[in-house]
Structures are given as structure tokens and as C-alpha cells.
Chains A and B, each alone.
Chain A
Amino acid sequence: MNKILAIENKRYIYLFPLFVILFLLSGIGNLFVGAIDISVPDFFKIITGTISDQAPESYILLKIRIPRIIASLIGGGFLAVSGLLMQVCFRNPIVGPYILGISSGATLTVGIVMLSSFSLGFAGISPYMTVFASFAGALGVMIIIVTVASRMKSVISLLLIGIMMGYIAGAITNILIAFANKEKIKGFILWGNGSFSGFSWNEIQILLIIGFIILFIIYLLSKPLNAFLLGEDYAQSMGVNIRFFRLLVITLACAMASLVTAFAGPIGFVGMAVPHMSRILFKTQDNRILIPACIVLGGIIGSICDLIARTAFAPAELPLSSITAIFGAPIIISLLIRRRYKL
């Protein structure tokens, strides 16, 4: 086991600090760029309250920009960890956090709220209802998957059931769209593009508290996850209760992805690609290294993509999922070619 999982070299010793610095720099760099450029002295004046919190630059920095930066750093990291868990659990390199229909489930319930709320008697949709609906949808799909997972032995069957769940949710969403008022579809499509825009401090708190509790549990599982990598038989021989363990991993991965999707909408690519980037860069399969690596790299990718989305054609905002794919796919391809990484 040690041979396979061995950290071939101790590159993580210098890579980690380097990526942590990059993580912080990408966040800090984001602070000063936007509709108004905030200088370093002004930044400190705003933080210390020397500039009134009623001033536009204070509102922009404290209420719009900083929550967005934190959301992109944490959200990117959480999606990457969720993807890593899925890839380990299904021993499949092309799965990501949304493969089990989590995104489709969230999209369906948000669609129900956004596209039919008026006819159900709601004059306007509270933004919290969208968040709640998204989380409920993702959770609903997750519960179905977990229930099925507890009865199924084959991971491939489980994967297929997850994909089918996604198709069903997607199909119902399309029917909803067909019957919806055209004016309402616009808001729904915007939500579906995914974005870290408009995060509030309350949402950041929820993201941080729940996310880090889940993350802590995931990190505790990194050793059995390593055993799982070598096959279910091996893991079983190491004392891992396979059925329970698989259930737990899926639950945690789904919860992590649901949490981000609830607030930011579906954001593709990060969850699928960042675990590969981490493996290639850190040259290891060891989940004790990969979990923190995914958080840091996912955060970097998330915040850089968000920066591009809001500044590349400023003041126009680009769809985040498009940026994550356009920006991330070439990185993966080049890493694969240069490092001869085997999936």
C-alpha cells in the first residue's frame, strides 16, 4: 500500500506553502480589482472604519466584494473535495460532484420555486426560498442515492442510477420551463449559469460552519479512503465496513456539493478537474495530501475564474461555469501531456 500511495518525493513540503501563498494572493489580488479600484491605503481605511461605512467604496468592499472572494475561495475548494471523494468512491476519473444528479435535483426544485411561485400565490420569490429549494433538491437526490447505495453492491450500478436521476430531474425541469412564463425563465437561466456574485455574510457563515464540519469529518476518513483506493476487498481486509463507508462518503460528497450549489448555483468543471490537478502536481494518490491540496487548488481556481468572470469584459459579467471550463480544461490537457499522468 505504502508503495502505491507513497509520496514519491516530498514535493508537498514546498508545494503546500507555495499554493497556500497563491491561495492567499489570489484572494488578496481580488480585493483591489473591480468596478472601482481600491488602493491599499483606502483598503485599510475602510477596514478600520476611517472611511464611513456609508461610502460607496465601503459598501462595495465590505458587502459585495469580500463575501464574493471568500465564497469563490471556499466554494471552489469544497467542490474540489466533493469531486475527489466521488472519484475515489466510484474509482472513476471522470466523475465529479454533480454526476449523481445533485445539480439536476437542485435545478429542479429551484425551477419549481422560480418558475411556478407566482401561480402558487407567492408575489415574489424570497432569495432564501431559492437557496432553501436548491439545498432541498440536492438533499432529496442525495437521500435517494444514499438509500439506493445502502442496498446496492455495484458502484457502477449506483453511478448509473445517479445519472438516471439526473436525467429524470432534467426532464421535469424542461417540462417546467416549457410551461413557464418567458419573463421568469430569464432569472432561472441566470441561476443555472452559476456565480459567486451576491453572497451575503450570513451565507458565508453558513458555508464556513457547515462546510468545515463536513471537511473535518472527511479528513478523518482520509486513511480508510486510501485503503478504498486499493479495492473494496483490500479495504475490507483492513477492517473497513464497505457498505457503511461508501454510504458515508457519498453523503459527505453530496452534502458538500449541495452546500455550494444552494448558494451559488451549479458550477461545473472545478469538482471534476481539480482533483486531477492535485494528483498531477503533488504526484500522489494519498488522500491525506489530496484533500487539503484540493481545498487550496480549488480555491485558487475558483477565485481566479471568478476574477476573470467579473473583470474580463467588465462591467459585463461572464457565466462562471464557462470560465471554469475554458480556463481549466487546457490546464488539465497540458498537465496530462507534459506529466504523462495516468488517470
Chain B
Amino acid sequence: MKRGTCIVFVFLFILSVTSCKKNSFESMGTFTVNRHEGYTEVGDGIGRRFILVPREKEIPANIGNAIVIRTPVNRVIAYSTCDISFLIGFGILEEVLVGVTVDKSRWSNEFIKESLDSGKIVFIGDSSMINYELMKKVQPDVVFTWDSGIIPVLDELKIPTLITNPELAMGLEAQIKYVKFIAPFFHKAKEAELFCDKFMKTAEEIKAKADTAKERPRVIWGDVYNKRVLVEPRNAWVSELVRLSGGIYELDDVEGASCLEITLERFFLAGKKADIMFTYRSPRTGINTKRQLSIENPVMGQIRPMTEGDIYFPKDIYYESYHKLDDIMMEIASILQPEIFGEPEYKYFLKLK
């Protein structure tokens, strides 16, 4: 018996050792991270391969056409406020962020505002009119962007460029894990794990509590424009979160890779049943009141969130707070189920009056 137990233990030990040596592969939507001995291989939003090699280590052989980036990255230009929020979360924003494509007036973060004034962080131009000379002058180690159109120019300038559009991380799990894609560039894998655990724990907590909900509010989430509407599909992370928080997502037949246009008829039908609507239209985009929304699109005047329910929009800080995804998830849950999660604090969302 003892001999048998010993054999089992030895077998398990060998298995665990070999599995540790095995590559640790993770995917989050279209993003991938593959940890190897001495280096990490990542795939960006459009599947391009990058090899992240610590500065003190040698570049491995046989990496094919992958682009090598030395880590930890010290100078970053980032397009997305989401990516930048993770730099805040890792506590390295002050050291590594050197360029942005969002001008000072649209930032909530005081450090970024001040740094844009002092020149510590450079506004390299709006995303549609990038100043490449300035970008080269800033000398970033890497550029995080959602615009694949700039890749040829930056390849020419020998600046490694990754497509990091977090929208490509569809689904709640992918959105939660997205931080793990950013982390290896800054040697923050452990911190990313902690973030993930925290986010995941919050999601589980929300689910456990929301399962006890007596009533399930019906929710729609989208953008309203003149004569047209765009909505979040059923596979978006926010739709999943609505279901997780004990809500019913009324547009569960819509599937897509991002916010997409649907017919006014379908929107009207969903809106007639909905109690709550989330919209990206906000004072930032010229919409301050419910009335303005219904002027913009008369069908809006007919839906329940407009007449009897509530319409919420994200505050500017929402876009810079992805590192607080647990907080955001909890606030959405509070909006949907105030009896279970308590009254929302309205840190990230506001009600349209």
C-alpha cells in the first residue's frame, strides 16, 4: 500500500513539474499570451506575434517573423483610455506613459492633465491626424493603438505597434482577463493575476447575490442617433454583466463583434419592454436630457425607459477606470438590483433627467 502511494506521489510530482515547464497559454478574445521559459509570446488584436524578452536576457532563436520587444517597457504611447487605466492600476503611469491621442480637455485624470501641460506626456495628435515626427521624437518603446492603419508607417519608423482595442475582448471573461495581455509588457503578471482574481471574485459575488433576485429588470444598452440606433450585442461584456446581475438583456437575439446597428422596429420592441436603458450618448456627445434624446430620435419617446424607467450614461471617468472593473461591475449591479446591492454611488454612471 505504502509502495503504491509512493508511486502515485512520484507520478503526480513528475506531472506537476512537467506541466510547470509546459507553456502557459491564455487567450482573451482575440488576444493571446503564451509564457515560455525566458520570454513571453503575445498575439495582439489582429493576431500579430510579438516576443517580449526581458532586457537582460538574450533573444531566443527561431522566433520566425515575430517582433521583439524588450521588457519592461519604459516608454509607451497609448491611444485607448482603457489601456492607460491599467497603467494607473499597476502604479506605473507616471513612469511609462509618454504620449496620448486624447487632448487635455477630455481627461479626468489630474496627473495626465498636468503632464500634458508640463510636456512630460505629449499629445501626439488626434488619432485621425497623428504627428509621426512628434511620435518618433518621443521615442516610445511601444505604441498601443486600435488603429491598424498606422502600422505600416510605424513599421517604417521601427516603432513596435500593437492593436490593443479592448472591444476585441468580447465577453465578460475576456474583458476581465484583458489586463493579463497588458501586464507582461511591464512585468506585472502577478499584479494582473490579482486584478483578475478580484474582478472574478466580484463577478461571482454579483452572480451569487443576484440569483436571489425576486424581480429581473429588463435592460437595453446602446447608442441613439438621428433615425438610427446602435446596440450592444448579446455577446458583449456589458450584456453578460446585465444577465449576471439579475437583469434580462432585451436584445439577446443581436450578435456581433461590437456595438452594431439594428432596425428601429427591433429597438422599439425591445424598448417597449425595457425598464432600464444604458446609452453612450451623454453630455460629452451633446445629450443632456431625456428630451434631447427623443428629439434626436422620435422612437426614443415611445420606449419605457424614457416614459417610466431610467436611462443611464457613463461619466467621463468610466472610460479611464477599467482597472476598477470590479467597482464598475458592482455599480451596474446596484443600478439593476438596488435592493440587493444597495443604492448605486453613481461614481461611473449618471441618470439622464
List residues of A whose CB falls within 8 A of some B CB.
34-36, 56, 59-60, 63-65, 117-118, 122-127, 130, 177-179, 181-184, 186-187, 190-191, 195, 197-200, 310, 314-317
Contacts and interface: CB of A to CB of B under 8 A. Distances in A.
B261 A190 contact: yes
B36 interface: no
A197 B264 contact: yes
Contacts of A198: 226-228, 264, 297-299
Contacts of B280: 183
B226 A183 contact: no
Contacts of B227: 127, 195, 197-199
A336 to B, nearest CB: 33
B66 interface: no
Given A117-B286, A178-B126, A186 B272 contact: no
Contacts of B297: 127, 198
A64 B269 contact: no
Given A64-B299, A186-B223, A197-B227, 10 more contacts: A35-B265, A117-B286, A122-B286, A123-B287, A123-B288, A124-B286, A183-B285, A184-B286, A198-B264, A314-B263
Contacts of A178: 126, 128-129
A123 B352 CA distance: 14
A182 B127 contact: yes
Interface in B216-268: 223, 225-228, 230, 251, 253-254, 256, 260-266, 268
Contact of B285 (A34, A126, A130, A184): A184
Nearest to B298: A200
A60 B225 contact: no
A118 B226 contact: no
B265 A64 contact: yes
A124 B297 CA distance: 11
Contact of A315 (B253, B285, B292): B253
B263 A317 contact: yes
A65 B298 CA distance: 14
Given A56-B269, A315-B262, A124 B128 contact: no
Nearest to B128: A178
Q: 8 nearest interchain CB pairs?
A: A198-B227, A35-B265, A315-B266, A124-B292, A35-B266, A187-B225, A127-B226, A183-B285
Contact of B287 (A124, A179, A182, A200): A124
Contacts of B262: 315-317
Interface of B: 126-129, 223, 225-228, 230, 251, 253-254, 256, 260-266, 268-269, 272, 280, 283-288, 292, 295-299, 302
B228 A125 contact: no
Contacts of B251: 315
A190 B228 contact: yes
Contact of A127 (B288, B296, B302): B296
Contacts of A186: 223, 225, 230
A224 to B, nearest CB: 38
Nearest to B272: A56
Give the one of B223, B226, B251, B292 with max A CB within 10 A: B226
Contacts of A63: 299
Contacts of A179: 126, 129
B329 to A, nearest CB: 23
Given A59-B302, A125-B296, A198-B299, A314 B288 contact: no
B263 A124 contact: no
Contacts of B302: 59
B122 to A, nearest CB: 19
A181 B287 CA distance: 14
A195 B256 CA distance: 20
A310 B262 CA distance: 8
Given A59-B302, A117-B286, A190 B296 contact: no
B259 to A, nearest CB: 9
A211 to B, nearest CB: 19
A60 B268 contact: yes
15 contacts: A34-B263, A35-B269, A59-B302, A60-B269, A63-B299, A123-B283, A123-B286, A124-B286, A124-B295, A125-B226, A127-B227, A186-B223, A190-B230, A190-B261, A191-B228
B101 to A, nearest CB: 10
A307 B349 CA distance: 37
A126 B295 contact: yes
Contacts of B298: 198, 200
A191 to B, nearest CB: 7
Nearest to A317: B261
Contacts of A64: 264-265, 268, 299
A66 to B, nearest CB: 12
B33 to A, nearest CB: 28
Nearest to B285: A183
A201 B297 CA distance: 14
Contacts of B127: 182
B299 to A, nearest CB: 7
A110 to B, nearest CB: 10
A124 B269 CA distance: 25
A316 B261 CA distance: 6
Contacts of B254: 315-316
Given A198-B226, A314-B263, A127 B129 contact: no
Nearest to A60: B265
B84 to A, nearest CB: 15
Nearest to B101: A182
A194 B20 CA distance: 56
Contacts of A36: 265, 269
B264 to A, nearest CB: 5
